[in-house]
């Protein structure tokens, strides 16, 4: 493993830890993600009922986790890379129109949700539309061919603000030429082909 690859895995490991909060309460994090995938805001009371725990206990744990999006009623609308708010990355699950914070989220969320998702995004370099079908076991279909995924420099990732320091830099790039163009414009960052980006997601999920 190269030094750059090792640094990249460490950085994305930090991101995954900050997204899920699973280090201290995996059942709650998993249940919240599953409820959010139903396409409706999740209240603390509904989450507490789903895990058979006291509402105040659940509310206290949610308050301790960073990177949670809430609506005006204080219900959760975004968590662990999955969001009900519109972003550049469409994530269709069983006919429910969801979104993700970044391109990389679309590659590992199907495994966490145990479902297949239809993904639509756009390459920021070429403007070409990107479409994928991602199952729990990996990518089943990707168009156009030769997709890559961009990542920001590891040192710039702030675990307290994943969307602002990491996700906003993580895009699908349509083809080798677009990947080179992005890398030239962002020399401190990293660009992986689709298979390597998927593998990195598997690595960090296996090492929470």
What pLDDT is recorded for position 56? 93
Read off the pLDDT of each residue in 58-68 and give the average, rounded to a whole number: 90
Tokens of 189: 């960052």
Catalytic one of 5, 25, 114, 167: 167
Q: Using the predicted structure, report yes or no on whether residue 53 has a pLDDT greater than 50.
A: yes
Q: Using the predicted structure, report yes or no on whether residue 207 has a pLDDT greater than 50.
A: no
Which carries the bigger pLDDT value, residue 119 or residue 13? Answer: 119
How far apart (Å, rounded) are the C-alpha atoms in residues 160 and 140?
33
How far apart (Å, rounded) are the C-alpha atoms in residues 15 and 181?
25
Q: How confident is the model at residue 134 (pLDDT cuts 50, 70, 90)?
A: very high
- Beta bridge partners, 172, equal 149
How far apart (Å, rounded) are the C-alpha atoms in residues 181 and 119?
23
Read off the pLDDT of each residue in 94-105 and give the average, rounded to a whole number: 96
Span of 22-31, 74-83, 144-153, 176-185 with lowest mean pLDDT? 22-31
Q: Using the predicted structure, report yes or no on whether residue 1 has a pLDDT greater than 80.
A: no
What pLDDT is recorded for position 36? 97
Domains and CATH numbers, the chain: 19-79 (1.10.10.10), 82-206 (3.30.450.410)
Place of tokens 């599953």: 34
Catalytic one of 102, 114, 123, 198: 102
φ/ψ (deg, to 5) at 90: -80, 140
Q: How far is CA 7 from CA 14, 67, 109, 156, 184, in A?
A: 11, 22, 22, 12, 19
Would you call 102 a catalytic residue per the annotation?
yes
CB 187 within 8 A of CB 2: no
How far apart (Å, rounded) are the C-alpha atoms in residues 5 and 9?
6
Q: Using the predicted structure, report yes or no on whether residue 3 has a pLDDT greater than 90.
A: no
Catalytic one of 13, 23, 71, 105: 105
What pLDDT is recorded for position 62? 92
Pairing of strands 147-151, 117-122: unpaired
What pLDDT is recorded for position 18? 54
Q: Using the predicted structure, report yes or no on whether residue 88 has a pLDDT greater than 70.
A: yes
ω into residue 114 within 30 of 0, thus cis?
no
């Amino acid at each position: 493993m190269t030094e750059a690859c090792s640094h990249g895995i460490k950085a994305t490991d930090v991101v995954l830890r900050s997204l899920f909060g699973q280090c201290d309460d995996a059942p709650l994090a998993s249940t919240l993600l599953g409820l959010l995938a139903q396409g409706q805001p999740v209240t603390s009371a509904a989450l507490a009922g789903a895990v058979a725990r006291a509402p105040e206990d659940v509310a206290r744990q949610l308050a301790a986790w960073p990177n949670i999006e809430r609506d005006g009623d204080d219900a959760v609308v975004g968590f662990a890379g999955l969001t009900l708010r519109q972003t550049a990355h469409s994530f269709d699950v069983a006919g429910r129109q969801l979104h993700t914070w970044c391109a990389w989220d679309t590659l590992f969320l199907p495994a966490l949700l145990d479902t297949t998702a239809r993904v639509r995004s756009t390459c920021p370099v070429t403007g070409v539309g990107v479409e994928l079908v991602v199952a729990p076991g990996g990518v089943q279909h990707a168009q156009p061919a030769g997709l890559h995924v961009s990542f920001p420099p590891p040192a710039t990732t702030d675990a307290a603000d994943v969307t602002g320091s990491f996700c906003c830099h993580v895009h699908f790039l349509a083809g080798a030429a677009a990947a080179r163009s992005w890398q030239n414009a962002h020399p401190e960052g990293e660009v992986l082909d689709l298979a390597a980006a998927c593998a990195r997601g598997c690595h960090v999920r296996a090492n929470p």
